[in-house]
Structure 1
Amino acid sequence: MDRGVDVETTNTRRAGAAAVEPDEPPQASKRQQILAGARRIFRSRGFDGASMGDIAKAAGVSKGTLYVYFASKEDLFRDLVLEDRRQAAEQIVSLGLDDPDVRGVLRGYGRSIVNMLVEPEHISMVRMVMAAAEKFPQVGRVFYEAGPGYGINRLATYIKAQVEAGRLRTADADLAACHFLELCQGSILKPLFFGVTAQPTPQAIDYTVDAAVDVFLAAYAADGI
């Protein structure tokens, strides 16, 4: 075998591969590209009105490529919901279990939760999930577990730690967490969700959350806190 020809052929193949690679995004990037296209289609047409063909076109991929990543529209929507919840979770402040400043922790957590909930992207996602959940209840379940359920569990864990430290008192941390979160968002989110009110100002959010903290501590604070 002519080794010169062999080396030249190998180099040619490598050069050809290098020329193709920039046009072939890594798997993770391709998946994000598809999710971005799907998000646009679902928002404009809803779950029932969206088709895999429309999504493929919006994402700039073939239907064949789309089905390599997602077996069905339901699978794609579920993953989009999970991606949305993951991004939302990154905006929520952490709950320091050992932080003795219960009022300060609750204020920070409540404000970050409400600021995330009132974002137009989140409102659109909730509306889409509710519209799809009747036909595909697993989508609603995924959204709840990764969103509201996750937030309740995080806060309940913090409340349990504060009960053990003698700062709060309750026999049901999950219920107490639900009470606090509803106090923070109820008067803001429901009117916004139904289009009754406009986007709340930061001052309105702070006022509502501060009032929620006052009511919560009046009910659950241990004596002397």
Structure 2
Amino acid sequence: MNDTHTVDVPITALTTSQRKRRQVMEAAARLFMAQGYGATSMDAIAREAGVSKATLYAYFQGKDALFAAIVGEACERHAEGRPCCLTDHEDDLAGALVALGEGYLSFLCREEVMAIQRVVLAEGSRFPELGRAFYESGPRRMIQWVAGWFAALQRQGRLRPGDPAVAAEQFLALQRGSTLMRRMLGVPPAPDAAEIRAVVAAAVETFLRAWGTGREQ
């Protein structure tokens, strides 16, 4: 593994404690992506971050908590744009779904997000806490958020009745497929905006055939 992308978050206006926590997270991200989860020790993270072990453990109880924080922060940054998808397409459900899907698939295809997923896939079977931290901090959060939105749409009669969590999982799964698999495997070319737009448009059409009520507008 040689991808050393880190989570790029501005550090302006942060307190000393917040800056030190950011320092630790960025150091851990570099090591996780460069040498893997299993080969990265808390000692190495402390050295890379330039902090004591006591300081490191004051912020994170272990590697799984640190990895979860890295994943969770990346997802939170992505989540900041979700309300805009709904607001900008308040009366156009298909448009809102397309906007949400394009943002989601573009996020998954980002190099730093790919690097995180590769670490999990490569080492998750040997370190169950890694897979658990990733799932709880990333995919599970997204499913819950989308399910909450879908439940509201069902109450409005804009999606047919059913388990909103199932609908959310199906909607998100439709965005992935061969495009994401090709990106994960590094098979060129990398998906561009036009490909992502086409994949999402087809996914939304399929989803609305299954869950739509004819009141999408």
1:179-194 pair list within 5 angstroms: 179-194=170-185
Is 2:95 the counterpart of 1:110?
no
Q: Which amino acid is 1:163 matched to?
A: Q
TM-score by length of 1: 0.78
Higher Rg of the two aligned structures? 1
Structure number with greater CO (CA < 8 Å, separation at least 6) is 2
Equivalent residue in structure 2 for 1:33, among 10, 20, 23: 23
Change (3 A) 1:176 1:75: closer
Is 2:63 the counterpart of 1:73?
yes
Equivalent residue in structure 2 for 1:125, among 97, 116, 121: 116
**Are the counterparts in 2 of residues 34 and 66 from structure 1 also a CA contact under 8 Å?**
yes
Distance 1:165 1:84 in 2: 31
Question: Runs of 5+ in structure 2 lacking a partner?
Answer: 1-14
In terms of fraction of residues, the more helix-rich structure is: 1
Distance 1:69 1:174 in 2: 33
SS at match of 1:222: coil
Q: Report % sequence identity.
A: 36
Deviation by residue 1:180-219 (Cα, 9 ceiling, x = unmatched): 1111122311221122343200000001111111111122
Q: Which amino acid is 2:71 matched to?
A: V
Q: Which amino acid is 2:137 matched to?
A: A
Residue correspondences, number:
201
Partner of 1:168: 159
SS at match of 1:135: coil
TM-score by length of 2: 0.81
**Are the counterparts in 1 of residues 159 and 212 from structure 2 also a CA contact under 8 Å?**
yes
Deviation by residue 1:112-149 (Cα, 9 ceiling, x = unmatched): 10111000100111121233432332332232122112
1:1-225 pair list within 5 angstroms: 26-94=16-84, 96=86, 99-223=90-214, 225=216
**Are the counterparts in 2 of residues 37 and 58 from structure 1 also a CA contact under 8 Å?**
yes
RMSD: 2.4
Distance 1:66 1:116 in 2: 29
Runs of 4+ in 1 over 6 A off after TM superposition: none
